[in-house]
Amino acid sequence: MRAIRNWAGNISVRPRRYTEPRSVDELKEIIRSSEKLRVVGSGHSWSEAIVTDDTLVSLNNLREIIEVDAERKQITAQAGIELSEINRELDKRGLALKNLGSIATQSLAGAIATGTHGTGVDFQCLASQVASFKMLDADGREHSFNKTDDNFYAMLIGLGGFGVIYEMTLDVTDAFQLREISSGRDFDEAIDDLDRCLAENDHVKMWWLPPSKDVVLFAYNRTDDAANDSRFRQWFKDEFISVCVYRTLSLAGLLHREKFIPPINRFLTRQITKPLDRIERSYKVFNVPEPPPHRETEWAFDLADAKNLLREYKKLLASNGFTYNFIQEIRFSKGDDFWLSPAYRRDSIWLGMYNKDRRDWDKRLANFEAFARAHNGRPHWGKEFTIDARYLAAQYEKFDDFRRLLKSFDSSGKFRNNWLNTIFT
């Protein structure tokens, strides 16, 4: 069997059997006949979530839209569908997802299973848009869960540990436009002004290219005004600057990192901080051009401590001796009730560490993780983190309940891989 690699190329899986069932009945048979099994979505996670040497199942062929109920504002789809397909289908019918992350090429179930989030202090992770889901257990038996079940909150962000989710119903909303205003802002001033900025805007995020003094501050708000984005702007900023210039310069910086990357980052910051004011369909504003493969870790911290955290974060990345040839992203989300959500019952600020240059990655990660742990961060399950089961257990009120439920629901451990075993030792 050839190796299957994840999107970033840092994980390679050589399962004994790789399969893409064409029906739910076929999926049941595969589950029943496997000793060990993991599911892969679109392979966009950096963590070892999909690694197995036994059976790896993809729901690539289970990606139909089952129903769009315009009156109830719900869409039901098979779990292997890509989020982008949902966006297109909803848009045709005057509907939309309420919030999204920065890309939509993940599978529906895969994005939900790791707690994928977008940005907005009044917006929870994507799982909060799920009204109900259907899952097959280790014996291939069907289960349905909705928001009235405790297991809904336990198993939806389930890291692939409880079974194979094959169908989901999402609550959606009327299609809407977002006005995106972005411009450069001195990082320290942006921190001082954070409370006002979060209070006045639906969705806020920041991009930073260390050690630049400025960040790009993005604010998205709902508007009834018509879309006005120009094709030329999209090509120039989203393709020429964001893809061609950005990629070429960040590669050129590798020739002599310490010397070239700081001035390149300052030059790029000047390009991307030019003020922008545009109105577009929501999903086109939430999503950004697909970035080049890179390494990434991202953690959720207590929003109440955001200003202090941002000052420390800025100090850390600007002076820890490393250079960064990738944009560092800062986002926000509302607390939720999913047992293993990094934003479990805590409004959150998300801080990450991103780099295209893979050299020294382990040292960079250790450096960032020391900061994250000192501030009670909770790692994104789909991104990179060093597993420390004791630390994780202390961060999640429901960690032991989750572990017990994993053991009782999948008593044979069919869906366990080393990654889950190490987290839940």
Ligand X SMILES: Cc1cc2nc3c(=O)[nH]c(=O)nc-3n(C[C@H](O)[C@H](O)[C@H](O)COP(=O)(O)OP(=O)(O)OC[C@H]3O[C@@H](n4cnc5c(N)ncnc54)[C@H](O)[C@@H]3O)c2cc1C
Question: Which residues contact ligand X (rule: CB under 6 A)?
Answer: 7, 38-45, 49-50, 59, 79, 101-103, 106-107, 109-111, 113-114, 116-117, 159-160, 164-165, 290-291, 380, 382
Cβ nearer to ligand X, comparing 37 with 316: 37
Cβ nearer to ligand X, comparing 185 with 416: 416
Minimal distance, residue 420 CB to ligand X, in Å: 8
How far CA 190 is from CA of 33, 57, 193, 196, 218, in Å, comes to: 56, 45, 5, 10, 11
Instruction: Output helix, strand, coil percentages for the chain, rounded to the nearest 5.
Output: 35, 25, 40
Minimal distance, residue 277 CB to ligand X, in Å: 23
Minimal distance, residue 258 CB to ligand X, in Å: 27
Cβ nearer to ligand X, comparing 262 with 382: 382
Single-letter residue type at 332: F
Of 129, 172, 180, nearest in space to 285 by CA = 180
Minimal distance, residue 380 CB to ligand X, in Å: 6
Cβ nearer to ligand X, comparing 86 with 103: 103
Residue nearest to ligand X as judged by C-beta position? 110
Cβ nearer to ligand X, comparing 41 with 262: 41
Cβ nearer to ligand X, comparing 97 with 164: 164
Distance CA 319, CA 317 (A): 6
Cis peptide before 211 (omega within 30 of 0): yes
Of 221, 209, 220, nearest in space to 184 by CA = 209
Minimal distance, residue 135 CB to ligand X, in Å: 7
Q: Are 171 and 128 in contact (CB under 8 A)?
A: no
Minimal distance, residue 20 CB to ligand X, in Å: 12
Distance CA 282, CA 301 (A): 26
In the block, tokens 């289908």 appear at 89
Of 297, 321, 303, nearest in space to 369 by CA = 297
Minimal distance, residue 145 CB to ligand X, in Å: 12
Q: Are 161 and 70 in contact (CB under 8 A)?
A: no
Cβ nearer to ligand X, comparing 83 with 316: 83
Distance CA 355, CA 264 (A): 14
Q: Are 225 and 279 in contact (CB under 8 A)?
A: yes
Minimal distance, residue 55 CB to ligand X, in Å: 12
Minimal distance, residue 319 CB to ligand X, in Å: 27
Distance CA 259, CA 29 (A): 58
Phi, psi (degrees; rounded to nearest 5) at 129: -90, -5
Question: Measured on CA atoms in the order 267, 242, 246, 201, is the torsion positive or negative?
Answer: positive
Cβ nearer to ligand X, comparing 39 with 75: 39
Q: Are 354 and 326 in contact (CB under 8 A)?
A: yes
Cβ nearer to ligand X, comparing 123 with 399: 123
Q: Are 91 and 72 in contact (CB under 8 A)?
A: no
Phi, psi (degrees; rounded to nearest 5) at 85: -70, -35
